[in-house]
Amino acid sequence: MPIRRANAEWKGDLKAGKGSINTETKLLNNTPYDAGSRFESGSTTNPEELIGAAHAGCYSMALANSLSKEGFKVNSIKTDAKVHLEKLESGFTITKIELDTVGEVEGIDAAAFAKHAEQTKSGCPVSKALTGPMIVLNAKLK
């Protein structure tokens, strides 16, 4: 399986600084992010928004796969992710991710859809990653 790559660079302190995010596909290429968009509101992206996009995308794909394997015709799975960032005593923390999904699936009833949806919540790779993967850090000072 391929290893996916992305990078980010931050310049300056937290409040006045600015950063850019890049992905290997160049779909995000010098995409700006800053503290204002992260902790207040702003026009640039932020890590929580990107986590939400990744989680919604992964979940939608995984649910479609699960349903298709069971013989259901999937026309559409749309998932919205709400990533909650809160300031706790220990610092800023992602405390909750809400996934709201709507499926347009032929030949399935609400109970079966809900069962697949719940199983997929813990089965999609991004959900698994957000529950505590091993993180390896290689840090060096230039």
Q: Each residue of 6-16: pLDDT tens digit? A: 999 999 999 89
| Residue reference for tokens 């995010």 | 21
Partners of residue 80 on adjacent β-strands: 100
pLDDT at 38: 87
Residue 139 has pLDDT above 80, yes or no: no
pLDDT score at 138: 75
Token match 């394997």: residue?
69
Contacts 24+ apart (CB under 8 A), 58-65: 58/124, 58/125, 58/126, 58/127, 59/99, 59/101, 59/120, 59/121, 59/124, 59/126, 59/127, 60/101, 61/124, 62/120, 62/123, 62/124, 62/125, 63/101, 63/103, 63/116, 63/117, 63/120, 63/124
DSSP 27: S
User: Which pLDDT does position 54 carry in this prediction?
Assistant: 94
pLDDT tens string 16-48 = 999 999 999 999 999 999 998 888 888 899 999
